[in-house]
Amino acid sequence: MSARRPLLPWVVWGVAAIAYAVAIINRSTLAALGPAAQDHFGIDATTLAIFPVVQLIVYAGLQIPVGVLLDRFGAKALILSGGVLMLTGQLIMATVLNVELAILARVLVGAGDACTFISVMRILPEWFPVRQLPTVSQVTGLIGQAGQLVSVAPLALLVASAGWMNGFLGVVAVGVLITILGTLVLRNYPGDATVAERVFHRTSRTTREARKLGADAPTGVTVMAPPSTGLIPAVGRPRTRVLSLYDRARRLLRIPGVRLSYWVHFTTPFASNVFILLWGTPFLVGGVGLEPPAAAGLLSLTVVSSMFAGLVLGPVSSRFLERRVWISLGITGGIIASWIAVMLWPGNPPTWLLVVLIVVMPLGGPASMIAFEVSRSHTPRSFSGFGTGLVNTGGFTSSLAVILLIGLVLDLQGAGSPENYSLGAFRVAFAVQIPFWILGITMVLVEMRRTKRWMVEHGRRLR
């Protein structure tokens, strides 16, 4: 049995990471299906943009409530509930032609997706030592990005060959399988029973003898512990539940490190999210003039680039704690430079420049994971789910705003349908990203200075 103990954390993490990958598949099902969705439902660019915008509004809006539920009920329940919501949404998406019902389907997908990522992140500290968390977190993100590989080319090919309904029913089948697997394997912490064990009122020996992987070795260096929960009272009698949520958020945001992590997440991933979730294929096909297979290949390259970056950034961010925010800013600078080069290039951008954009832009996804490492350094343990949810609203708030604005700008130029797409219209539309970068970088620099001052005043160091 001793050989079984170190294996269980990896099994639990593996199933949770696969659940996250399935959530990414569900989130990104329209990535390569934008024109197909317009044809299927007979809609313009603004209406098409509403699909992911509604989905992201639900995702971002539920992060804080889901964080509260996560702290109360645990990650296992939230991951499984999220899986059921997503497969229900995709089942509706597969079988309806009505736009309103299709939007309801994206609402369910967004709600299920909202339950998954922060729950997976909540499980990690229960099974792995602190020194391994940056690497495990980045590998979790890498596995999630693998889900985008499925939702880019393979799903588009499946829909093209088998039809809209059969393509989405395939996604539903994958969701059913991972939900069943989750009931058999997922545990919130060592010693916690699985859903299947609770249903049958039998606890396995594996569960009873489960142990956390490793232990944090002493380093001789004072590390930064989370602030005392006395700074953020969790006990009291708020007059209403809404006031309780508001009070939690207000008190948590008093810690500058939490605000810093929010703005890091706001700034780094939205360019990649916007491109992969909706506007990448229309830009490459309708704007640049690539053939759909070539566009799908470039979208797949974004995922490969993101996965490679996840492998590198995990060890780097754990080694250079004091510089990890600067690393995220450097990546953001590279994304801005590559987009500006594409927008200002006279005529069609050359293939090499498109490849540079496609390789650099997705680095924002793994860089956004740094926000959760910063948050973990400053958030009390009892508020970890709530804090992760709060930080996770950042990138998705910026993403949904930019997605909607791009659709509106395209329609205002009379280029809101596949037959009217043009490179010039897309260049103007993608320029709406610039104010969001300026705001995000400014706030990161401001909060980084405040965080450093706060840490000096409290005699703390990063962990």
Tokens of 133: 């968390």
Indicate the DSSP class of residue 230.
G
H or E stretch covering 151:
helix 133-162
The fraction of the chain above a pLDDT of 90, given in percent, is 28
Q: Is the pLDDT of residue 381 over 80?
A: no
Q: Is 24 exposed, middle or buried (0-12, 13-18, 19+ CB in 10 A)?
A: buried
Tell the residue number behind the tokens 């990414």, with chain if given.
24
Tokens of 122: 């909540």
Query: For 320-363, where are the alpha helices, taking DSSP H only?
Result: 324-344, 351-360
CA distance 323 to 42: 49
Please report which confidence band the pLDDT of residue 3 belongs to, taking 50, 70 and 90 as the band edges: very low
Lowest model confidence (mean pLDDT) among 40-49, 78-87, 313-322: 313-322
Lowest model confidence (mean pLDDT) among 53-57, 383-387, 420-424, 435-439: 383-387
Structural domains in the chain, CATH included, are: 7-212+238-458 (1.20.1250.20)
For residue range 382-429, what is the model confidence (pLDDT) as tens digits?
A: 676 777 778 888 888 898 889 889 988 988 888 877 778 888 999 999
Pick from 170, 132, 156: nearest CA to 276: 156
Instruction: Residue 84: count other Cβ atoms within 10 Å of its Cβ.
Output: 15
Output 229 or 22, whichever has higher pLDDT: 22
Query: For 163-240, where are the alpha helices, taking DSSP H only?
Result: 164-185, 195-200, 205-208
H or E stretch covering 49:
helix 45-61
Please report which confidence band the pLDDT of residue 145 belongs to, taking 50, 70 and 90 as the band edges: confident
Instruction: Residue 199: count other Cβ atoms within 10 Å of its Cβ.
Output: 10
pLDDT of residue 318: 66
Q: Is the pLDDT of residue 263 over 80?
A: yes
pLDDT of residue 4: 45
Please report which confidence band the pLDDT of residue 175 belongs to, taking 50, 70 and 90 as the band edges: very high
pLDDT of residue 245: 65
Contacts of residues 242-245 at CB distance under 8 Å and 24 or more positions apart, as own/partner, are: 245/64, 245/65, 245/68
Tokens of 376: 């973990």
CA distance 273 to 68: 25
Lowest model confidence (mean pLDDT) among 294-303, 377-386, 416-425: 377-386
State the DSSP string of 97-142. --HHHHHHHHHHHHHHHHHHHHHHHHHHHHHS-GGGHHHHHHHHHH
The fraction of the chain above a pLDDT of 70, given in percent, is 87
Tell the residue number behind the tokens 């999210």, with chain if given.
273
Q: Is the pLDDT of residue 459 over 70?
A: no
- Measured over the CA atoms of residue 36, residue 429, residue 55 and residue 151, the dihedral's sign is positive
Pick from 366, 339, 336: nearest CA to 354: 339
Q: Is the pLDDT of residue 273 over 70?
A: yes
H or E stretch covering 397:
helix 384-412
Q: Is the pLDDT of residue 134 over 90?
A: no
Pick from 446, 442, 386, 122: nearest CA to 251: 386
Tokens of 270: 């939205």
pLDDT of residue 226: 45
CA distance 105 to 89: 4
Lowest model confidence (mean pLDDT) among 140-149, 207-216, 395-404: 207-216
Instruction: Residue 300: count other Cβ atoms within 10 Å of its Cβ.
Output: 17
pLDDT of residue 242: 44
Check: pTM over 0.75? Answer yes or no: no
Q: What is the chain's mean pLDDT, rounded?
A: 82
pLDDT of residue 160: 80
Phi, psi of 274 (to 5 degrees): -60, -45
